[in-house]
Structure formats: C-alpha cells, structure tokens
Copies of this chain bind each other. A is one copy, B any other.
Amino acid sequence: MSFPTDLQIARGASLKPIEGVAEQMGLGPHLIEPYGRDVVKIRLEAIDELADRPKAKYVVVSAVTPTPLGEGKTTTTVGLAQAMKHIGRQAVVAVRQPSMGPTFGIKGGAAGGGYAQVVPMETLNLHLTGDFHAVTAAHNMLSALVDNHLHQGNPTGLDPHSIIWRRVLDVNDRALRNVIVGLGTHVDGEPRQTGFDITAASEVMAIFALARSVQDMRERFARVVVGYTAAGDPVTAEDIGGAGAMAVIMREALKPNLLQTLENTPVLVHAGPFGNIAHGNSSVVADLVGIRGGDYLITEAGFGADMGAERFFNIKCRASGLTPDAAVVVATVRALKAHSGRFTIAPGKPLPPELLAESPDDVHAGAANLRKQIENIRLHGVSPVVAINAFPEDHASEHEAIRQIAESIGARAAVCTHFADGGKGATELAEAVAEAAEEPSNFRLLYPDSASLREKIETVATEVYGAEGVDYDRKAARELDRHERNGFGNLPVCIAKTHLSISSDSSLKGAPTGWRLPVREVRTSVGAGFIYPICGDMRTMPGLGATPSAHSIDIDADGEIEGLS
C-alpha cells in the first residue's frame, strides 16, 4: 500500500471543535468569531486580555538554502509543534496564509504535509476567511484613487511616470505583468503603463503583517508612498485620500485566524507577505496573541536563514518587540548534497539517480551552507537547533553526517520523521528545542535604526551573505540618496535577492565567498516600514505552465473537491 496523499490524510483528520482549541490558548468565547465550522478569527482585545498569562518561548523555524523543491519547513514547524504535546508541553504555531492563485498553477497545498499538516486544508488553501481578498480590495482601491487623482486635476502634482503603486490580484497571470491602462476616450482615465503583482507582493500585505493594532495599521497606510512629484517629494496614500478607507477594508482582516494541526495543536494562520521583496513572515498580531497561548510559540520564516530568518530578526522582531529564544535550521540530505555542487535539482523533474545513492561524503561536501546558516542565527544571539528532516530515500549514515556537521560547531541536532509519523516523529527535535530555548537569549538586532541605508545593506551583505562588499548601480545610488533625503534612512532593509543561494547568484551553492552584492535599484515600502534593494530579477507575478493544476481541480459527484494536493 502506498503512502496516502496529503488530502487523504487531511480528510481523515479528527478535528477538535475549534472553540476548544481556542480555549486551550486562553481565548474565551468572547474573544473569538467563527468563520465556517472549523476556523475562528481572534479579536485583537485578546492581546491585552492575555497579557498576564506567562510568556511562551519564541521559536523561529528557518532552513539551509533550499533546493527548488523546498525542504519541508512548514512541515517541520507543524511537526515540532505537534511533538511538544508528546513531551508534555503545549505549543502554538504561527504561519503564513498560502496564496490561493498559485494553488491553480503548479504549487501543491501549503499546509505542511503527510502527518504534519494544518487542517482543514481546503479552507486553508482556498479563501480561508478572505484576508487576502481584503488586501486585494484595499490595494486596488488605492490604485483607483491614484488614477482618479490624475483624472481629477492631479492636485498634488504627482508625476505619472513616478507612480510606484501598481495593482494586485491573487492569480498567476503573466499577461498582467505589464499593462497600459486608461485607454478609450477622455472619460476613461489617463493612459499610462503600469502592471499587476500577485496579492502576496502587495505592500498592504506587508503592512497588515507588521501592524501591532488597527490604529498602527491605519498610520502605516497613511505613510505609503504611491509616487513622487516632479520635484521628487513623496506623495502618500494619505495625500491621495485613501488611507482611512484602506483601514476600513482591512479592519476585520487584522484579526488572526485560528486553525489546528492534525493533532489539534492551535495554528495561527495570518498574512502572507512575499519572501524576497517583503519580509516573508506571518503577522505580528498573531504572534502577540500566540506568545501568551502556550509554552512555545513556533513560527516560520521564509526560505533559508539568510532570507526569512534575517528579516524575522531585523524587520519583524524590530516591529513587534518580541525576543526569540531559539531558531530551528531545517536541513535535508538532498539539500546538502545539492550544496556540494555535484548535482542539479530542477523543479518538476525527478531527482538525479546519483543523488539518491548512499553517500555521506556528498552531504559533507555541502556542509558549508549549513554552517553558514547556523552562523547567521548566532549572529543575532539566538540558539540554533538543526532539524534533520528525514525523507524515505535518505540513509542513516547521511543523517549522521548532518548531525556531525552541526555538532562540530556546537549546534544541537535531531533527526525527525514527522511527515511519516506525526508529532511522535519529532520528539527528539522538541527536546533539543526545549533545551536551546532554556539558554539565556542574547538576541540582538544586526544594525541600529540610526545606521545609514548603505551601512545596513553592507552589514547584511557582508555578515549574513558573506559578500566582500556591495556595488551600487548609478540608479541605485541615486535612489538611496533620495530615500535618505526623504527621511526614510531610519528604516530597516529587506534585500531582494535569490533564495536559491546565500549569494545573489542562484547558481552558486554552499557558502559562496569572494563575490560582491550588486544592487540595481532601491525600492521602498515606507508604509510597511522597510527599504528593499533589488539584486537580481524579482518576479512578482507568476505565470501558469502548459498544464496548470487548474485543469485537474474539480468537484466530484458529491460536491467534494478533487485535485487539490
């Protein structure tokens, strides 16, 4: 008998009434609002009401630099949380909401996998409670107000060519990347070139993920820069008259969503900002609730530790004021073998057969990446724990090789089999995380607000990425000067680069040295509160393949969903 599919496992789950899951976090009925049978939203009053409860240990799950297949970070996050119950502790999970659009492209469901999943998976992967739809609506309402502003006489003197506020949709639609709007007659607006990004890439998404309250969200919307005057002065969403209405559209969305794992562990699913042009972490408000909801709050940061974890520390923790106690670095045999540089892994293709042969040497040959990502955690004063995420094709000697690499630099490590075994497959990891979190936290931000933007970029590039330095294109240098002049120099930086290498060149594996970070341009998310230098081609609107999964997603004769993996 073959291993059941994720959907089969999810359908067989025994869900606990979600009100009971909430109760377990200290959330009484007056603090929750049901959405369907298996999901509740949590009122933000919970943050104050729970303030007297003990604070959970705060654990972030990161990874080595992943292959294009991903290394099971969400699965490990869920498995670790499930395992806590097996060692007598209570955990709360906080993860991003997956985008619905890509579900109809090539991506499978983003709810973990195997026996470490968030359920109900159909709800999670489709609309959930509509938060992404609210982001789409708030974003595009500001877009309409911007074009209307031009149409109605342009009182701020907004330069149409300077407009950086595009439109968004949660769909994989390459034809929307570059569009001309405003065609027709004089009543149909002003023609100009612009485009659409996927909703996850909206600054509204990043703002809602970083806001601490409705009022804070409202103030961040006010600061959104939509473009510039001819003189180079920023024009904001407040200037355009859209910030208040955006807050009204997003008011309900700011309440975190509560679901559960297959083993009934509470899971906060909230916000889903992009991992390259944004910070790639779930919401601050969810963590402010979850930090009072159990013994451990376990959250996930996108991509490898150089990406998601660095932003988790320097952007999200800076915004939330919360202090992490431990960080998990998920490592897989296939990823370390790939970091040897001896194999090529491509999405949608089978693994090369020679990669599947037992070879601890190949694992050791990729050790530099794991060592550097462990160091990236330690740079922030946090205790790392290596989670060796086991796959069926692995060999014990290869797991042992990963353990040796970790322990050779003093990091804890544990093999885990939560995909096949659920929480009981990750108890060794849970014990290791519990130990690491007991160590005193020396958490530190990598740079102060007061450093210049160039200093911030150079600190991340050299200390985290291992670059020898940073090269700025003329355009990037000009933009940095302008951003400093406009008073944005105090913001943290979110460096948009490939997630497939610690460097900015996706073909370089391991822990590349002897390279310089090329910054082509420097964009802003002033409302969200970060500057994002662009180092490479960042695609913010995916396309569909020749055979998108939409073709095989359908309802069956009983009205049940089929084809959602």
Contacts and interface: CB of A to CB of B under 8 A. Distances in A.
Interface stretch (A77-85, A238-246, A355-363): A238-246
B152 A173 contact: no
A171 B148 CA distance: 12
A137 B249 CA distance: 18
Contacts of A563: 244
10 contacts: A33-B37, A127-B130, A144-B544, A147-B174, A148-B544, A175-B182, A179-B182, A179-B183, A244-B553, A248-B555
Interface string A147-188: 110011100000000000000011111111111111110011
Given A34-B36, A174-B151, A215-B559, A127 B189 contact: no
**Chain A facing B: main interface SS:** mixed
A143 B101 CA distance: 12
A555 B220 CA distance: 14
Interface string A376-396: 000000000000000000000
Contacts of A557: 215
A552 B242 CA distance: 9
Contact of A181 (B129, B175, B190, B243): B175
B141 A104 contact: yes
Interface string A527-565: 000000000000000011110101111110101010110
A110 interface: no
B248 A143 contact: no
Q: How many copies does the complex hold?
A: 2
A140 interface: yes
A174 B193 contact: no
A165 to B, nearest CB: 12
A248 B174 contact: no
B177 A180 contact: no
A173 to B, nearest CB: 4
Contact of A175 (B144, B170, B241, B555): B144
Contacts of A215: 555, 557, 559
B141 A171 contact: yes
Interface string A120-143: 000000110110011011001101
A178 B171 contact: no
A145 B244 contact: no
